[in-house]
A and B are shown apart, each in its own frame.
Chain A
């Protein structure tokens, strides 16, 4: 446990070295919330306005999840750099087991995401309202699962693709598909309607429904806005997502760092 804590500390120290990147991400998130969401508020159709009340309130949980995703995904960039520059040899020389090493990096990635997301979540609470204590624990637990799962996706991608350019391209593909094919920017019902009309291919509709970012954002909305209704499927999807990618990333990380 102590070894894992050391690794988390190491990754947190690295995280604060990226202060410029973090400032850029914060300004992007704030611009989305304070400008884009405010203007879209004026553009909502009566049916959607009835469903989500205000786009600003609807989007605040979405931007929280976007921030969580981007910051939790950052661990992959560092690990990809370590693999390319062979810094992982130094990591292997430390008196830490491979499993501890993998779990420590995974947890650090997730916790960094949680830390970055906290001010955004607090802003969301200030805008929409505060949840009850049990709801708050469920939200934090679900977001931690989401953050750890994202950290897992990021690490699994980073160790599978050693070329930096290819990693950046893969990251872009994952970002855009998960961001836009989700309920971050628009209600899931709109994607489902497009699917029923045959405009959106059915696999993409299923992806949007199972997308962990949709589940994370909708879970916060369920408790704060009451729409969509809370279902245990949201938690189940996040647990499955997190379990798959934590396992995959742990195995991949342990195997890749030992490769000659």
Chain B
């Protein structure tokens, strides 16, 4: 119980900090509006007829996942700011174990990205509609794990690199490629037609799993090769979550000690 309380305190701290980033929230909202109102709308007129009638909804669902991913990654930048200002040493001196600290931050990062994306999901559901509430519930649960996993990945990379510059470039490049080599913007069938190597990467990309699950949850299933219960993406997301939240936490527990932040 005591451990849970400490964990909750770490989560609460991250949630409180997030409210301070109101400009980030405004910026992400503008980005979402621009993506939907311009790119989604115009690109749906550019694509092949069999995709044209559904592409707008398909793209909007993909934008939600892009936003969830980028919001979950943000916790890593937060950690660097703390390291730069010496807050990290203070956190390490608290009567909270390293495990609780990283696990709490990972969960806090996931929850706050959901707080940011929550209203956007509501708008998206208004645009797309909702076919099956149960499917959506399953998809959202998996997306929670996805957000925790991405936050855990961001924290793991941040404490591994211990350099703000290297983290910035690494995450920038990773985000650029991981998003584009996924089905957030286009169906897997077209990625397959474009390039086999891209398709192979896209098929096992957690961002693809998250996008496909969200579309399955909202009922846009036409371009997904999914069985009625999408087990493969759910298992993929659970593995991703476990790797970066638990194995990553244990492995990098020791990396938090000492200096070396650049």
A interface with B by C-beta (< 8 Å) = 20-21, 23-25, 27-28, 30-32, 35-36, 38-46, 48, 165-166, 168-169, 172-173, 176-177, 179-181, 185-187, 190-191, 193-194, 199-200
Contacts and interface: CB of A to CB of B under 8 A. Distances in A.
B38 interface: yes
A43 B54 CA distance: 13
B41 interface: yes
B41 A200 contact: yes
Nearest to B25: A169
Given A28-B172, A172-B30, A199 B41 contact: yes
A41 B30 contact: no
A141 to B, nearest CB: 29
Contacts of B166: 20
A38 B194 contact: yes
Contacts of B173: 23-24, 27-28
A101 to B, nearest CB: 29
Nearest to A22: B169
B1 interface: no
A20 B165 CA distance: 6
A41 B194 contact: yes
A14 to B, nearest CB: 15
Interface in B19-45: 23, 26-27, 30-31, 34-35, 37-39, 41-43, 45
26 contacts: A20-B168, A21-B168, A24-B169, A24-B173, A27-B172, A32-B176, A38-B195, A38-B198, A39-B190, A39-B191, A39-B195, A39-B198, A43-B51, A44-B48, A48-B46, A165-B23, A168-B23, A168-B27, A172-B31, A185-B43, A186-B42, A186-B46, A190-B46, A193-B45, A194-B41, A200-B41
A239 to B, nearest CB: 26
B48 to A, nearest CB: 5
Given A24-B172, A200-B41, A32 B46 contact: no
B190 A42 contact: yes
A185 B45 CA distance: 12
Measured as residues with beta carbon below 8 angstroms from the partner, the interface class of chain B is 35 or more
B181 interface: yes
A1 B159 CA distance: 48
A35 B42 contact: no
A39 B23 contact: no
B35 A180 contact: yes
Interface in B131-172: 165-166, 168-169, 172
Contacts of A42: 190, 193-194
4 nearest CB pairs, A to B: A24-B172, A180-B38, A176-B34, A27-B173
A190 B35 contact: no
B194 A39 contact: yes
Nearest to B40: A180
